[in-house]
């Protein structure tokens, strides 16, 4: 019933050719899906990844944290134009690897805040850019663009499921979905289980299953049984992916203020292994 995956950030910050071993490792650990976060699409070793993917028969999902040079809520139209180009390139990569999901912070630059609430202009700029990207995804393959609401300290643009659903409606294409992440939901949603339900099968396109403190999933206070029940009720059958980080990462650790380490795990890999055990056990009781 439940299909569990793991994020490449468990092992590496920027996925390069030297990191191809991660595909085999994720498979060996019992994960069915590998989420590869690509911040720099022009540097991504696509051909080599595809070869390893086919060798180990691994399902891959593509996510991103959009660079500030391509911020599609920037007042500068040239920057927004760069953003559309970057996002289309990520759709191309998704198509090449057979990923029907393109998720993450793809609606605005990650870690970009203005010190005030989202404006109508920013909404219109992002929607206009995303319409072009979503249409491109429809025309070139079978990719759903999944927008991830994140916490207020990393973005002022999309923080809750309700706004993400409205964003999808305003873009207006059938391939726009919501990417939920239980870490961010724990900060921003009134009720994590209801956030899953309001997305429903129509809008829930992808999900990261992270603990409230980004520690080992199942060892904190995320209401996992309720989450799994809601996922089952709405008929979501996509990946449930553990996302955490190698403690030696630099840019993301700084940007996410991740100073306290992995919370009772010595490595990202240990966190993933223990988290998978916990989530499989909890979900088996649903």
Q: Is the pLDDT of residue 93 over 60?
A: yes
CA–CA–CA angle 86, 90, 94 (5° rounding) = 170
- Cβ pair 256, 201 in contact under 8 A: no
Q: Is the pLDDT of residue 284 over 90?
A: yes
Radius of gyration of the chain from its Cα atoms, rounded to whole angstroms: 17
Domains of the chain: 3-284 (3.20.20.150)
Q: What is the pLDDT of residues 186-233, one digit of tens each?
A: 999 999 999 999 999 999 999 999 999 888 999 999 999 999 999 999
Q: Which residues of 119-151 are buried (b: 16+ CB within 10 A; e: fewer)?
A: eeebbebbbebbbbbbebbbeebebbbbbbbbe
Mean pLDDT of 73-84: 98
Q: What's the pTM value of the predicted model, to 2 decimals?
A: 0.95
- Cβ pair 22, 34 in contact under 8 A: yes
**Distance between CA 8 and CA 229 in Å, rounded?**
27
Mean pLDDT is lowest, of 14-28, 119-133, 170-184, 257-271, for 257-271
8 SS3 class: helix
Joined together, the tokens standing for residue 257 give: 């203020």
Q: What is the pLDDT of residues 246-275, one digit of tens each?
A: 666 666 565 566 656 556 788 889 999 999
Write the CA distances from 205 to 15, 123, 148, integer angstroms: 23, 21, 10
Kindly tell me the sign of the dihedral angle through the C-alpha atoms of 30, 265, 22, 65. Answer: positive
Q: Please give the pLDDT value at position 251.
A: 60
Q: What is the pLDDT of residues 47-65, one digit of tens each?
A: 999 999 999 999 999 999 9
Q: Please give the pLDDT value at position 107.
A: 98
- Cβ pair 150, 105 in contact under 8 A: yes
């Amino acid at each position: 019933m439940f299909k569990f995956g793991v994020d490449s950030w468990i092992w590496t910050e920027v996925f390069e050719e030297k990191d191809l071993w991660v595909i085999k490792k994720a498979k060996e650990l019992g994960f069915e899906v590998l989420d590869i976060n690509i911040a720099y699409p022009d540097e991504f070793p696509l051909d080599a990844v595809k070869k390893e993917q086919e060798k180990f028969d691994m399902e891959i999902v593509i996510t991103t944290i959009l660079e500030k040079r391509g911020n599609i809520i920037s007042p500068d139209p040239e920057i927004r134009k760069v953003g559309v180009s970057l996002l289309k390139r990520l759709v191309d990569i998704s198509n090449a690897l057979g990923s029907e999901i393109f998720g993450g912070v793809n609606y605005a630059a990650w870690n970009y805040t203005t010190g005030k609430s989202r404006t109508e202009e920013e909404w219109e700029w992002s929607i206009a850019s995303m319409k072009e990207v979503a249409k491109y995804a429809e025309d070139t393959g079978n990719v759903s663009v999944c927008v991830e609401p994140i916490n207020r300290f990393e973005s002022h643009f999309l923080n809750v499921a309700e706004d993400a659903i409205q964003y999808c409606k305003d873009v207006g294409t059938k391939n726009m979905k919501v990417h939920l992440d239980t870490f961010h939901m724990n900060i921003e949603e009134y009720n994590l289980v209801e956030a899953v339900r309001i997305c429903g099968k129509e809008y829930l396109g992808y999900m990261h299953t992270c603990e409230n403190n980004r520690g080992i999933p199942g060892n904190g206070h995320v209401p996992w049984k309720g989450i799994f029940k809601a996922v089952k009720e709405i008929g979501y059958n996509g990946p449930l992916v553990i996302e955490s980080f190698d403690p030696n990462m630099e840019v993301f650790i700084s940007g996410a203020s991740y100073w306290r380490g992995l919370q009772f795990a010595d490595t990202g890999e240990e966190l993933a292994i223990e988290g998978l055990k916990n989530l499989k056990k909890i979900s088996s009781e649903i």
